[in-house]
Amino acid sequence: MKYELGIIGSGPAGYSAGIYAVRAGIKTVLFDKGNGGGLAAVAPDIENYPGFPSISGSELMEKMKEHAKKYADILEYEEIVNIEKQDKKFILTNSENKTYQVGAVLIATGTEHRKLDASSIKEFEGRGISYCATCDGFFFKDKTVCVVGGGNSALIEAIYLKQIGCKNVYLIHRRDKLRAEDAYAKDAKDAGVQFILNNVVEGVKGDQILKSVTLKNVETGEIQSMDTDGIFISIGVIPQNELAKKLDIKLDKQGYIKVDDQMRTSMDGVYAAGDITGGLRQVITSASEGAIAALSSTEALGKQYPY
């Protein structure tokens, strides 16, 4: 068997796990359906990762990837679509039906953006509707945009859009108070972001490209339409738990994988780390969980580690 540990997902948790696993003497491979980094890679600015007062998500993830490559094999654009347990081993199958045999599995598949359920949203995705300010913000310089959401991510995206030169940036939130930290709210106000609270998106309109958004006041029921060139949606995430479900691994009510303090799941030999486990869902906690999971896997592989 070429590999002992198969890590599915190469964001902060996966990269950290790869480093720690190989340093512990475990032959390790990381799989990612894209080019790695997860949602952290599209964060406009990260200011709370020790050692980096301010760094883009893409740059931080690239640094982690290069570090992990010194130890583990990283297979990008290789999606694992099935895991089958056979005795004390696991068979991983990719989208092209190629298989890999490993002795332990770490699921670090993370989360994906939650889609906004409103009229015509899907029709205008890629034509004014975006889920990534870092990816698409540049195209809206000197234009009017809206950000939908009230958490830290939404505020950070709004600040970023203002920073790169968007003429008007409106933050639309369904409640009367933001969920974001006060520091982000203050930064957004100072940057010139305008808040539209107690409103939800009812629908969008346009001709080939987005032209306007229809809002509904949740308290009064009032409907208003406002012109906008773009809408950036930041309303939370959904755990990527499909593989866990196939193994019948226990999930919590929100669909996140349940783990103990050593990142063990309900199935022997399967571990989980990072955003897929819920909780704080920060780069630093994901990296920590990845390290713990990697060293915990020594027990399933018949190895020893002094901790």
pLDDT, tens digit, 9 for 90 and up, residues 20-67: 999 999 999 999 999 999 999 988 888 889 999 999 999 999 999 999
- Alpha-carbon span 248 to 1, nearest angstrom: 25
Compute φ and ψ for 212, nearest 5 degrees. Answer: -155, 165
Closest CA relative to residue 119, chosen from 223, 32, 193: 223
- The label of the residue with tokens 């698409």 reads 136
Q: What pLDDT is attached to residue 100?
A: 98
Per-position b or e across 33-56, b if 16+ CB within 10 A of its CB? beebbbbbbbbbebeebeeeeebb
- Cβ atoms of 29 and 4 within 8 Å: the answer is no
Spans of the chain, pLDDT less than 50: none
Residues 168-188 pLDDT 10s: 999 999 999 999 999 999 999
135 is catalytic: yes
- Alpha-carbon span 287 to 246, nearest angstrom: 25
146 is catalytic: no
Q: What pLDDT is attached to residue 1?
A: 56
CB neighbour list of residue 282: distance below 8 Å, 6 or more residues apart? 48
Residue tagged active-site, from 32, 87, 135, 275: 135
Order the strands of the 80-86 sheet from edge to edge. Answer: 80-86, 89-94, 99-102
Residue tagged active-site, from 32, 87, 132, 166: 132
Domains of the chain by start residue, with CATH: 5-113+237-300 (3.50.50.60), 122-233 (3.50.50.60)
- Cβ atoms of 13 and 36 within 8 Å: the answer is no
Residue tagged active-site, from 32, 136, 187, 229: 136
Q: What pLDDT is attached to residue 307?
A: 61
- Cβ atoms of 214 and 203 within 8 Å: the answer is yes
Question: Three-class SS of residue 41?
Answer: helix
